[in-house]
Amino acid sequence: MSRVLDQAETSCRTEKIKKIKLGLNVDHVATLRQARGTSYPDPVVAALLAESTGCDSIVVHLREDRRHIRERDVFLIKKAIKIPLNLEMSTNKQIVDIAQMIKPDQATLVPEKRKELTTEGGLDLIKNYAKVERVVKKLKNSSIKVSLFIDPFKQQIKAAKDLGAEIVEFNTAAFVEAKGKARAEKEFQKVKNACSIAEKEGFFIAAGHGIDYLNVKKIKQIKELQELNIGHSIISRSVYIGLIAAVEEMIDLLKASN
């Protein structure tokens, strides 16, 4: 009898195991701080709370215009947390110098435009090959793991491989913004196929952009997906229910079997 119970408990636990890691992007905690030029809310505190709630990594984007995250945040978060810090960044020389000084565990190269509300589109590795190659080399020389944020296309995955990146993060914007079921399904299939190609190439596979408490249920069905990087939806929900509860809800969704 007790063996039967043990087995039941084990299978229940296996079903609830979180297969996809959660990287929490705390940029928008800093957005709120910068709106008033106060010292609060502090993304460092948010990162520590997220760590103690079960997040697997913390993500920050040090933008060239410093509209939210500042050097001080990256520096202090790196010192404060034990889980990996993933620094989103452009290929700008000053930002690369800062990354080499702070040495986050991982850097994710993203395209950056001054006027955009948030990152728009993946980094075009074919168009920017030489520049990205130089930056990837510098980051790797500083023992920083490199991730490339790309659109879910075969040519981009192939370029990421040639560039020597260890991680690819697929841009889910087209999927989450698709109007209508058929369009969303088409975009979902593109991400799914890209994950399957990336797995064959030996990449650690992440995805992100616009993932929320509803669309996560679909995206987590991709079996090759190893990590989701989520910011806006979780930080927004934390305004109503608190950061710990908002993170817990997302982790529960990542654990649930469907």
Annotated catalytic residue: which of 51, 187, 209, 227?
A: 209
Stretch of 75-83, 92-100, 187-195, 202-210 lying at the interface with ligand PXP (CB under 6 A) = 202-210
Q: Quick check: 238 binds ligand PXP (CB under 6 A)?
A: no
Name which position in 21, 68, 209, 220 contacts ligand PXP (CB under 6 A): 209
Q: Quick check: 205 binds ligand PXP (CB under 6 A)?
A: no
Alpha-carbon torsion 232, 237, 242, 243, what sign? negative
- DSSP H helices in the chain: 2-16, 27-36, 43-53, 71-80, 93-102, 129-141, 154-163, 173-177, 181-200, 216-219, 232-241, 243-255
Annotated catalytic residue: which of 51, 88, 112, 227?
A: 88
Q: Which is nearer to ligand PXP, 161 or 232 (CB)?
A: 232
Name which position in 41, 54, 111, 208 contacts ligand PXP (CB under 6 A): 208
Determine whether 209 is an active site residue. Answer: yes
CB of 189 to ligand PXP, least distance (A): 20
Q: Which is nearer to ligand PXP, 55 or 230 (CB)?
A: 230
Q: Quick check: 237 binds ligand PXP (CB under 6 A)?
A: no
> 119-155 as b/e, with b when 16 or more CB fall inside 10 Å?
bebbbbbeeeeeebbebbebbeeeebbbbbbbbbbee
Q: How far is CA 91 from CA 9, 97, 98, in A?
A: 49, 10, 11
Q: Which is nearer to ligand PXP, 31 or 100 (CB)?
A: 31
Q: Which is nearer to ligand PXP, 34 or 118 (CB)?
A: 118
Name which position in 128, 131, 163, 210 contacts ligand PXP (CB under 6 A): 210
List the one residue out of 55, 48, 53, 45 whose CA is nearest residue 23.
Answer: 55
Diameter of the chain measured on Cα atoms: 65
Q: Which is nearer to ligand PXP, 44 or 257 (CB)?
A: 44
Q: Classify 252 as helix, strand or coil.
A: helix
CA angle 149, 197, 183 (to 5 degrees): 70
Query: For binding to ligand PXP (CB under 6 A), which residues are involved?
Result: 25, 27, 61, 88, 108, 110, 118-119, 149, 169, 208-211, 229-233
